[in-house]
């Protein structure tokens, strides 16, 4: 989706054009809702978080301080707002702080890829994972079982198709940390796919 079309729409929104804003919402609500569903694990919370996201966008566009997007791509900017809205909803429900912030140091630490690879099923019979990949329920279940930080990076990159740079910006990470986290998340997904009961039974 070319950014220029979004920038044109946002310029019209900034001038108070509600019809343009409705178009912007419809263009992006699929991605915002998918991310919010993945982070809140609740369709109702996700819709509330999506509404909150777009209301915040409208207010930012109307603000005399500017929208604070800087040079970020529109989608990365929008999903940053959505990510925070979703975590706020989730925290309100589960009542505990999420552990997604301040992980930069962890991401920079050396990773024991061998141990992660074995857990992900390297060297084992690939049939179980091949069968699990074919089943939508197994893929959904594996996504839900990922840690919060693994889930958000994989949803941004592999479900929504953001570029590495866009996802890194939306997550507030360096590109190197984002790539490392994505690889760890993908290996963890493989481990969960291998444990899908629907295939084992």
Partner 1 sequence: MTPTMKGERHVGGLWCSEVLALLTRYLDGDLTDDELAMVKAHVGDCSACAQFGGAFHKAITALRDVDVDSDSSADDVDVSDRVLAAID
Name which of residues 44 to 63 contact partner 1 (CB under 8 A): 46-47, 50-51, 54-55, 58-59
Among residues 30, 92, 94, 108, which is the contact residue for partner 1, using CB under 8 A? 30
Count Cβ atoms within 10 A of the Cβ of residue 95 and give its class: 0-12 exposed, 13-18 middle, 19 or more buried. exposed
How many whole angstroms separate alpha carbon 80 and alpha carbon 173? 12
φ, ψ for residue 43 (rounded to 5)? -65, -40
For the chain, give the number of residues. 201
Angle, helix 18-40 to helix 43-62, in steps of 10 degrees: 140
Nearer to partner 1, 70 or 140 (CB): 140
3-state SS, residue 134: helix
φ, ψ for residue 53 (rounded to 5)? -60, -50
| Rounded least distance, CB 69 to partner 1, Å | 18
| Rounded least distance, CB 90 to partner 1, Å | 13
Stretch that binds partner 1, among 26-34, 64-72, 82-90, 100-108 (CB under 8 A): 26-34
Q: What DSSP character marks residue 101?
A: T
3-state SS, residue 195: coil
How many whole angstroms separate alpha carbon 73 and alpha carbon 169? 9
Stretch that binds partner 1, among 2-10, 73-81, 89-97, 109-117 (CB under 8 A): 109-117
Stretch that binds partner 1, among 4-12, 75-83, 166-174, 179-187 (CB under 8 A): 179-187
Give the binding site for partner 1 (CB under 8 A). 18, 21-22, 25-26, 29-30, 33-34, 37-38, 41-43, 46-47, 50-51, 54-55, 58-59, 111-118, 120-123, 126, 129-130, 133-134, 136-137, 139-140, 143-144, 154-155, 158-159, 161, 164, 179, 182-183, 186-187, 189-190, 193
């Amino acid at each position: 989706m070319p950014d220029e079309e979004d920038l044109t729409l946002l310029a019209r929104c900034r001038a108070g054009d509600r019809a343009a804003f409705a178009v912007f919402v419809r263009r992006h609500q699929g991605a915002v809702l998918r991310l919010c569903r993945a982070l809140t694990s609740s369709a109702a919370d996700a819709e509330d978080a999506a509404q909150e996201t777009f209301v915040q966008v409208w207010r930012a566009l109307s603000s005399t301080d500017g929208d604070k997007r800087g040079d970020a791509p529109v989608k990365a900017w929008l999903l940053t707002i959505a990510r925070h809205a979703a975590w706020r909803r989730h925290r309100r429900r589960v009542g505990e702080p999420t552990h997604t912030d301040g992980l930069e140091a962890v991401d920079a630490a050396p990773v024991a890829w061998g141990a992660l690879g074995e857990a992900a099923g390297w060297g084992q019979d690939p049939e179980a994972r091949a069968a699990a990949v074919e089943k939508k329920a197994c893929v959904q279940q594996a996504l839900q079982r990922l840690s919060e930080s693994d889930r958000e990076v994989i949803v941004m990159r592999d479900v929504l198709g953001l570029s590495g740079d866009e996802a890194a910006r939306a997550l507030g990470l360096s590109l190197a940390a984002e790539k490392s986290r994505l690889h760890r998340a993908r290996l963890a997904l493989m481990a969960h796919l291998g444990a899908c009961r629907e295939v084992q039974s």
